[in-house]
């Protein structure tokens, strides 16, 4: 397992390099001069423009700029913000705890809503509960996050005055953005839970368990849900990984000081190091969460752990054979 984890961590290297190259060169495709955008609102002379360009390293060819950035990245340096002059990694980590808190609460809401509804809908297929649950899930998937967020603000902040419309603080500030993200996640997770459970409860071993006289709840939870967890865990992992990368629209609407809002601020201010740094961190977070999901697979289904071991051993065997040759 440790060798498998190490190999997966090594795979982060080409992912980070590829993501960095794509976002770096895309940002350079724009026709606007970043120096003039940074100095907007002033009347800089030619000397100021040239000094700023040299200070930011923009006087070099694009390929050299990228190589310089990658050299810094190898030492854990995501660059320095053009606007604030502070290290991007430092500013990112200042905002990361707020995003983790929001992502965890939103995912908890999603799981608590979706899994019970998905299980009941599968057990009572085509019933009134199933129809209502699937219609609600379809509406949740089709409903844009920013629209739901604004609707919640109008209802619970403007009209009722129960909750703050934005900002960062205690539980009251967390409820509306967490519901906004959690509702969207719950819609997809509900449908996945129902689909996975329907496939499992039709298997022969479920019929055998019923024939043995086991209690229906034991059959559904112990035998059904446990074997249906693989796709459910996959969806939960993907949702949590993207939430850790920052819910851009939700954090912006609710003025939540997370990494998603940090990225938007970087885009609006044409702060290239901030944008590139946020994208790289998003790739890292999603990759780490996916690795965690793969490890959870091994505990949910022991056969997967056996397959992982075989792959690692097979890879080691091939290396030994090449060495002997």
Give the pLDDT of residue 325.
Answer: 39
Q: What are the CA-CA distances from residue 322 to residues 136, 318, 319 (Å)?
A: 57, 6, 5
Q: How far, in Å, are 204, 227, 293 from residue 301 at the CA level?
A: 18, 8, 12
Q: Any idea where the domains of the chain sit in the sequence?
A: 2-74, 92-302
What is the mean pLDDT of the segment spanning 4-19? 78
Tokens of 3: 């060798």
What pLDDT digit, counting tens, does each position of 34-55 carry?
777 677 666 676 777 778 778 7
User: Can you list the alpha helix ranges (DSSP code H) found in 169-271?
Assistant: 171-201, 204-211, 216-218, 226-227, 229-244, 248-253, 259-268
Q: For residue 80, what are the β-bridge partners?
A: 87
Task: Spell out the CATH class of 92-302.
Answer: mainly alpha
| pLDDT, position 306 | 56
When the pLDDT of each residue in the chain is averaged and rounded to a whole number, the result is: 81
Task: Report the pLDDT value the prediction gives residue 316, as an integer from 0 to 100.
Answer: 52
What CA–CA distance (Å, rounded) separates 41 from 61?
27
**Highest-confidence segment of 92-106, 266-280, 298-312:** 92-106
CB atoms within 10 A of CB 317: 10
């Amino acid at each position: 397992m440790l060798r498998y984890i190490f190999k997966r961590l090594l795979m982060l290297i080409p992912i980070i390099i590829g993501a960095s190259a794509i976002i770096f060169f895309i940002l350079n495709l724009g026709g606007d001069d970043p120096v003039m955008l940074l100095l907007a609102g002033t009347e800089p002379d030619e000397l100021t423009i040239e000094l700023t360009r040299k200070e930011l390293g923009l006087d070099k060819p694009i390929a050299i700029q990228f190589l310089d950035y990658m050299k810094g990245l190898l030492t854990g340096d995501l660059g320095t913000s053009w606007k604030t002059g502070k290290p991007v990694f430092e500013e990112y980590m200042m905002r990361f705890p707020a995003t983790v808190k929001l992502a965890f609460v939103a995912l908890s809401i999603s799981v608590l809503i979706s899994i019970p509804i998905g299980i009941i809908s599968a057990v009572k297929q085509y019933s009134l509960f199933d129809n209502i649950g699937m219609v609600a899930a379809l509406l949740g998937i089709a409903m844009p996050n920013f629209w739901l967020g604004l609707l919640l603000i109008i209802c619970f902040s403007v009209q009722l005055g129960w909750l703050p419309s934005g900002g960062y603080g205690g539980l009251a500030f967390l409820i509306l953005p967490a519901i906004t993200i959690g509702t969207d996640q719950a819609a997809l997770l509900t449908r996945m839970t129902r689909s996975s459970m329907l496939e499992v409860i039709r298997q022969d071993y479920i019929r055998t368990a019923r024939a043995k006289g086991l209690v229906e709840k034991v059959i559904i939870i112990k035998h059904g849900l446990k074997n249906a967890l693989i796709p459910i865990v996959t969806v939960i992992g993907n949702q949590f990984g993207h939430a850790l990368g920052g819910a851009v629209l939700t954090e912006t609407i609710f003025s939540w000081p997370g990494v998603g809002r940090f990225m938007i601020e970087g885009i609006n201010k044409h702060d290239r190091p901030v944008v590139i740094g946020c994208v790289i961190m998003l790739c890292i977070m999603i990759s780490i969460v996916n690795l965690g999901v793969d490890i959870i697979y091994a505990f949910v289904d022991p056969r997967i752990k056996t397959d992982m071991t075989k792959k690692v051993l097979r890879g080691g065997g091939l290396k030994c054979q090449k060495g002997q040759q």
